[in-house]
Amino acid sequence: MVALAAACVPTCVRDVSVFPIFVINGWVFPIGVAAFAFPDNDNVSSAVFFSSVAVGWFVYALLTVVGLLQHRRIRFFVVYGILCALLILNAVGCNVNMFKGHM
């Protein structure tokens, strides 16, 4: 949720009226990684869109659980680093989509 907040701060500072859009569309947050990875795919089917969102949430949940179950410190930080990198890419992808005009 911190990454979600970080993704919407630049836009919400400029125009506070768009904040409810971020709240309503928060469930599609994982699509930012796909938008970052495939920036030229604007017209995807709804099945691809919803499966990307579901896989994104699954990967985030899996990395969180795997990280919390680690007993060795180095393994925890590796999993945590992967999770943080994906969240950063996601926030960047969401901002790129916003600037291209896609919400």
How many domains would you assign to the chain?
1
CA–CA gap between residue 98 and residue 101 (Å, rounded): 5
Q: What is the pLDDT of residues 53-84, one digit of tens each?
A: 888 889 989 999 999 999 999 999 999 999 98
Give the number of residues written for the chain. 103
- pLDDT at res. 76: 94
User: Domain containing 57: what range?
Assistant: 2-100
Please state whether the predicted TM-score (pTM) of the whole model is above 0.75: no
20-29, 35-44, 72-81 — most confident range: 72-81
If you compute the radius of gyration of the chain from its CA atoms, what whole number of angstroms results? 15
